[in-house]
Amino acid sequence: MENPGDRKVMKVLSGESVFPPPIWLMRQAGRYLPEYRKTRATAKGFLDLCYTPDLAVEVTLQPIRRFGFDAAILFSDILVIPDALDRNVRFVEGTGPLMDPISAEEIGRLDGGGMHAHLAPVYETVRRLRAELPSETTLLGFSGAPWTVATYMIAGHGTPDQAPARLFAMQHPESFMTLLNLLAEMSADYLIAQIDAGADAVQIFDSWAGVLSEADFARFAIGPMKRIVDRIKAERPGVPVIGFAKGAGAMLENYRAATGIDCVGLDWTVPAKLGQKIQEGGAVQGNLDPLLMVAGGAALDRGVDTVLETLGGGPLIFNLGHGITPQADPENVTRLIKRVRSAGNS
């Protein structure tokens, strides 16, 4: 029988402390898994993988079957929103994502009206996933945060410091806010549609929050995030939201209160004391250095123990501090899960 009450990730998201903590890994479906590479090779391209429910369901389930994670994350990408806006999004092997860089004039002409039709296969994937997943496994939907998605739309590709988007925001402040507001409304619509299709909770990835000044973090990261969370809380009350503002450092202290999110994602650079302070307000998620999944061995064990000692006393969803990398060894994931799940048994 379906008993969503058994979903440990949901318990933590409601503020309960569960020990050993539930665990999943950001980017848990991906190139470090041979079965992913095999399925990926059958798709015409990466977006084709995202928009073919048979394939997207399969790659979402692969890490659940292999490792028994406590949560599955929908297989898709944050850049399906610019794709739905006709920005000519491509994923080029070895180069990362590319799209047509947007101008201030073009921002005024963007039209998100076709989004739900374009993303219907993603909603179908969510529906099938909820039906196929074990009842104790939480299903997470996700989107990118407006700032992070905008950095790709403005540069047309990934950059190390997001200089193109920061400069654009200085030179075209009104167009830039128009873009962030549009992305916030579309992201809210997109996440609500994922919730209606069966997502139990959603995560919003602000992977490039760490390059912003304090004033810009308030305007470009917190403002749009709050706008999305306000809509979810008003329109789908009770559905938890995880916010992950990578690299935001001391600005994370106020992030939960300022945005209304239920759980604060912590990257691996967040100091223990700050993490604990944030956890006084509710759930946190993180924050093992993802490179430990390449290194393995005693270094991995020590890293796991440190996260558990630091954050294991409160509401914690064990995760990495950012996505797992293609170089990771699946054996190290097995070792990680075993160590987390046997914690407290000695």
Binding flag, residue 31, ligand CP3 (CB under 6 A) = yes
| 77 annotated ligand binder | yes
Q: Which of residues 66-105 bind ligand CP3 (CB under 6 A)?
A: 73, 75, 77-79, 91, 96-97
Q: Is 31 annotated as a binding residue?
A: yes
H helices present in the chain, as ranges: 8-13, 34-42, 46-50, 53-67, 80-84, 104-109, 115-118, 120-132, 146-155, 163-171, 173-197, 214-216, 223-235, 255-259, 272-279, 292-295, 297-311, 330-341
Least separation in angstroms between residue 34's CB and ligand CP3 is: 13
Backbone angles phi, psi at 21, to 5 degrees: -70, 150
Catalytic residue status for 70: no
77 is catalytic: yes
CA distance 8 to 72: 12
| 205 near ligand CP3, rule: CB under 6 A | yes
Q: What are phi and psi of 141, to 5 degrees?
A: -95, 170
Residue of 101, 112, 121, 158 interacting with ligand CP3 (CB under 6 A):
158
Active-site annotation holds for 227: no
The CA distance from 132 to 135, in Å, is 9
Per CB under 6 A, the list member of 10, 13, 26, 278 interacting with ligand CP3 is 26
CB of 192 to ligand CP3, least distance (A): 18
Look at residue 80 and give its three-state secondary structure: helix
Over the Cα atoms of the chain, what is R_g?
19
The greatest distance separating any two alpha carbons of the chain, rounded to the nearest whole angstrom, comes to 63
- Identity of the residue, 26 or 232, whose beta carbon is nearer to ligand CP3 in the bound complex: 26
Identified catalytic residue from 7, 32, 36, 40: 40
Q: Is 123 a catalytic residue?
A: no
* Contacts with ligand CP3, residue ranges (CB under 6 A): 26-31, 40, 46, 73, 75, 77-79, 91, 96-97, 142, 158, 205, 207, 323
Q: Which residues are annotated as a binding site?
A: 27-31, 77, 152, 207, 322
Residues classed as catalytic: 27, 31, 40, 77, 152
Q: Which residues are annotated as a binding site for substrate?
A: 27-31, 77, 152, 207, 322
